[in-house]
Amino acid sequence: MFSAHEQWLDKHPEDYGTDVKMMLENGRYVPASAYLRAQRARHLLTDDFLKALTGIDVLLTPAMPLTAPRADDDELYEKSLRLTHFAAPTNLTGLPSLSMPCGFSASGLPINLQLIGRPFDEATVLGIGYAYELNTDWHKKHPELSIK
């Protein structure tokens, strides 16, 4: 990821948020040997997902390991770093996925599900997502906002 942003990051670092800039900058120091090991692991992860998808249309998983944090949460930065952990496997494997609302926590914060499909089968993932929206109204609801 760093290589795709390197020139812009060097010339316009102010265009990046602190958290994104920090993650991209860390990529500057990844040795080639670690990158190659990661590519082998990526291949194994893809194989595992393809085995899991054998004979089914999609995997339904949580989209995030925690509910969305409030903007005034004291641990917002730490929590925001964890929010995309469940999306990382599909980002690595290139499998089509869709995150969509499926409810609210006891404290009124949104909860999302994730649909993961087979390679190049975006139509099935989107079709199941659409059918879910037709039969639920979570996508029309919003958390109650309060200002402290």
d(CA 107, CA 104): 8
Block mean pLDDT (10 aa), the chain, length 148: 87 88 87 91 95 96 86 80 86 94 90 96 98 95 75
d(CA 51, CA 23): 31
Angle between helices 18-26 and 2-11 (to 10 degrees): 120
Tokens representing 89 are 């496997």
Burial 26-36 (b: 16+ CB within 10 A, else e): eeeeeeeeeee
Residue 146's pLDDT is what?
67
Residue 51's pLDDT is what?
97
**Residue 147 region, left (φ>0) first, then alpha (ψ -120 to 50), else beta?**
beta
Residue 140's pLDDT is what?
92
Phi, psi of 60 (to 5 degrees): -110, 120
Residue 28's pLDDT is what?
85
Residue 4's pLDDT is what?
87
